[in-house]
Amino acid sequence: MPIDKFIKISSPVVPIAIENIDTDQIIPARFLKATSRDGFGDNLFRDWRYNNDNTPKTDFPLNDKRFSGTILVGGKNFGCGSSREHAAWAISGYGFKVVISSFFADIFKGNALNNGVLPVQVSESFLAKIFDAVKKDNKTQIVVDLENQKVTIAATGETEGFEINKYKKTCLLNGYDDIDYLLSKRVEIEAFEKK
C-alpha cells in the first residue's frame, strides 16, 4: 500500500524500558484474526495494557497520562519472535510513527519500514539517556530527523546518528512502496527466470 511520507518529527515519547519485547506482547495471537489491516491499534500491548477484567492497568506507560506522543521507546531486541506484520500495524494504528531501541529484531524492522514506521536504532548509552530524560521530564521532546539521520534530545541538545539504507530512506521520505518498484522490474525478473 502507498505509505505516508515521513517528515521530521518532534514529539514527547512513550517509554517502555523492557528488553526483548516480543511481537506476542505487541499484539497477542488471539487478535490476529482480522482479514484487513485496520483496528490493531486497539489491542496494542493488550495483556500489558489491560487487567483480566479489561480495565486499563494504570501503571502501564500507554495508560499513564504523563506520557504521550508519536514516538515509542523500548529496550534492547525490540520486536523479536513472530513475523506477524500485525505488530507493525498495531504500532502504526495506535498512532506511533517511530520506535527507538538499541536493537531491533530483523523481521520487525522490515515490517515497520514497510508500514511507514521508522525504527531508530541508537546506542545502549543513548537509549539510557532518552529514558533518563523522560524520567526527569515526562514531556521531554525527542526530535527524529530522517533526512539527516539524527535523533536529538531537545532539552539537552544531545544527538546521535542512526543508520538506514539509502533505498528505504528514499521510500519513506517520498512515500514510495516496494511493490510498485518490483512491478517495474517485471521484464528483468522474467529474464532471470529463463536463465
Backbone angles phi, psi at 193, to 5 degrees: -60, -30
Q: Which of 156, 167, 173, 174 binds other proteins (CB under 8 A)?
A: 167
Backbone angles phi, psi at 168, to 5 degrees: -65, -35
Which lies closer to other proteins via its Cβ, residue 145 or residue 178? 178
Residue 10 Cβ vs other proteins, minimum distance, rounded to whole Å: 27
Can you say whether the dihedral through the CA atoms of 136, 140, 160, 114 is positive or negative?
A: positive
- Does 179 engage in binding with other proteins (CB under 8 A)? yes
Q: CB-wise, 70 or 111, nearer to other proteins?
A: 111
Determine which helix (DSSP H) or strand (DSSP E) holds 48, and give its type and residue range: helix 46-49
Q: Which residue has the cell 514516538?
A: 71
CA nearest to 137, candidates 19, 49, 18, 13:
13
Number of residues that bind other proteins (CB under 8 A): 55
Q: Which of 4, 7, 29, 137 binds other proteins (CB under 8 A)?
A: 29
Distance of CA 83 to the CA centre of its chain: 14
Give the nearer residue to other proteins in terms of CB position, either 24 or 64.
24
Residues that bind other proteins (CB under 8 A): 1, 17-20, 22, 24-25, 28-30, 32-37, 47, 52, 75-77, 80-86, 88, 103-107, 110-111, 114-115, 124, 165-168, 178-179, 181-183, 185-186, 188-189, 192-193
